[in-house]
Amino acid sequence: MTDDNGTPEEHETVLRSEEATVTAILQSKMVASDALRETDRQVVAYRIAEIMVGAKELYTKELPRIAADRAPEEEDFFSELAGLRMSFLHLRDLITEFDEAFMIAMSNQREDDDETADSGTAD
C-alpha cells in the first residue's frame, strides 16, 4: 500500500523491517551452524520470516478485530470472514513457498553431504 505521494505506508514499512530482522537473525544462526548452502540460506530465512510476520499480524490485528465485543451486522461480519479467508489463503501460499524452497535447500544439502562423504573416503 502507498500513501497519496506514492510512498509505502508506515505499516508496510514496519512489516518489511520485521521480516528483515527475522531474516537476519535466522541467517546468522544458519551461518553459525553451517546449515544449508550459502545461496539457500537467505531464501529459506526470508520465507520463514514472511510466515512468522504474517502469523503475528493475524494474531495481533485480525483476531482482536473479529473477536471484539460488539454486535456485528450480518453483512459486516460476513465481510470480516471473507477477509480472514483471504489472509489464511495468503498464509497458506507463504507456507507453500517456504516448503518448496526448503525442499530444494535440503536436496542441495544432501548433494553437499554426499560430496563431502565421497571426498573423505577418497583419502
Q: Region 96-114: what's the mean pLDDT?
A: 93
What is the reported pLDDT for 120? 64
Report yes or no on 102 lying in a domain. yes
Report yes or no on 5 lying in a domain. no
Q: Region 13-40: what's the mean pLDDT?
A: 92
DSSP-based three-state secondary structure for 29 = helix
Report yes or no on 101 lying in a domain. yes
Report yes or no on 71 lying in a domain. yes
58 sits in the region (left: phi over 0; alpha: psi -120 to 50; else beta) called alpha
Report yes or no on 122 lying in a domain. no
- 46 burial type by CB count under 10 A (0-12 exposed, 13-18 middle, 19+ buried): buried
Q: Count of domains in the chain?
A: 1
Distance CA 75, CA 66 (A): 13
Distance CA 12, CA 56 (A): 14
Report yes or no on 30 lying in a domain. yes
**Residues spanned by the domain of 36:** 10-116
Report yes or no on 75 lying in a domain. yes
pLDDT band at 116 (very low <50, low <70, confident <90, very high): confident
**Mind listing the pLDDT tens digit for each residue in 61-98?**
988 888 887 776 666 888 888 999 999 999 999 999 99
pLDDT band at 1 (very low <50, low <70, confident <90, very high): very low
